[in-house]
Amino acid sequence: MSESTVNAQTNAHMSKGDVLMRVEDLQKSFGALQVTDHASFAVERGSITGLIGPNGAGKSTMFNLISGFYQPEGGSVEVNDADVTGMQPYEVAEHGLIRTFQTPRKVEGMTVREAMLVGPQNQPGESFFELFTAPSRVGEAERENLDRVEQVLEEFEIDHLATQPATDLSGGQMKLVELARAMLAKPDILLLDEPVAGVNPTLANKLADQIRRLNEAGTTFLIIEHDMDFIMNLADPIIVLDQGSVLTEGTPDDIRANERVIDAYLGGGGA
Ligand SMILES: Nc1ncnc2c1ncn2[C@@H]1O[C@H](COP(=O)(O)OP(=O)(O)OP(=O)(O)O)[C@@H](O)[C@H]1O
């Protein structure tokens, strides 16, 4: 094998290894409306990547396509080098990708601790069959889940909320619980859909600190956010979506200064 072949192979491997999630030529329409229009981008492992764009640009649809809640009409999604296109959300989660929703899941009648306990993915306790075939495994897994929930509640400094009804929380506290709950699945990449929408500035700062802490511990983030100060201070790079396709990508400073981005926001009604 020649030296150049070895180098080319090493480089190809390295550049692939740096990418945790890749979207290639993704397409989705609702009736006559092409909501995702041949969109392609990649999220680098270890990054906090921002996904911004005017209202209706197709950001949430993109999250639904990536995480398996919508099926694309064309193109592909890769997570951790595996093709996850068309998979169910739980299967995509098994490949290391978890997402949160703009509006947190309903948790009526549950305390925060209980809401956290329904979070972990694929716990053996959910398997009726295993209750009979491996009851000790169920007990063990449930104890582990309880321990992990207590640990995560402490890490997120929300242990004082553990016994409160989840429905009594403020919007910001609920977003914090959602983030903590998503982390129970130990994702490699977490997709957050507007984590600080309707959240007061103190809690928004707390959320940003938690995201940075988790990122430093190895979690990669892709974050949709309309709050420009929040996302520009937290994320790098920033990907801009407009009318279903990627308009540009760059550092926060590049994006702030980009005329096409400014035009897209003005044309689209702004954020
Ligand atoms: N299930 C659906 N059925 C029909 N149209 C849809 C559906 N989901 C989204 N759309 C349309 O697709 C377009 C893009 O919506 P999407 O929610 O992805 O945009 P967005 O960039 O997340 O917007 P916002 O910033 O306002 O949340 C909108 O015109 C929306 O009305």
- pLDDT tens for each residue of 233-267: 999 999 999 999 999 999 999 999 999 999 888 77
Confidence of residue 138 (pLDDT cuts 50, 70, 90): low
User: Coil, strand, or helix at residue 158?
Assistant: coil
Q: Is the CB of 61 under 6 A from ligand 1?
A: yes
Task: Please give the helix or strand (H or E) that residue 142 lies within, else none.
Answer: helix 135-155
For tokens 């005017």, the residue is 54
Residue 88 DSSP symbol: -
- Alpha-carbon distances of 207 from 9, 151, 204, rounded to whole Å: 40, 17, 5
241, 52 in Cβ contact below 8 A? yes
Residue 28 to residue 61: CA distance in whole angstroms? 8
- Taking alpha carbons only, the member of 87, 58, 52 closest to residue 70 is 87
Looking at domain 94-188, which CATH architecture does it have? 3-Layer(aba) Sandwich (3.40)
In this predicted structure, what is the pLDDT of residue 157?
85
Report the nearest-CA residue for atom 12 of ligand 1: 35
Ligand 1 centroid to 60 CA: how many Å?
7
Model-level ipTM above the cut of 0.90: yes
- Ligand 1 site-directed mutation target among 30, 103, 194, 246, most atoms within 8 Å of CB: 30
Q: Which of 35, 222, 228 gets mutated to test ligand 1 (max ligand atoms within 8 A of its CB)? A: 35
Higher-confidence residue: 169 or 232? 232
- pLDDT-based confidence at residue 126 (cuts at 50, 70, 90): very low
In ligand 1, which atom is closest to the CA atom of 194? 27
Note the pTM of the prediction, 2 decimals: 0.84
pLDDT of residue 198: 83
Q: Can you tell me the mean pLDDT for 149-170?
A: 87
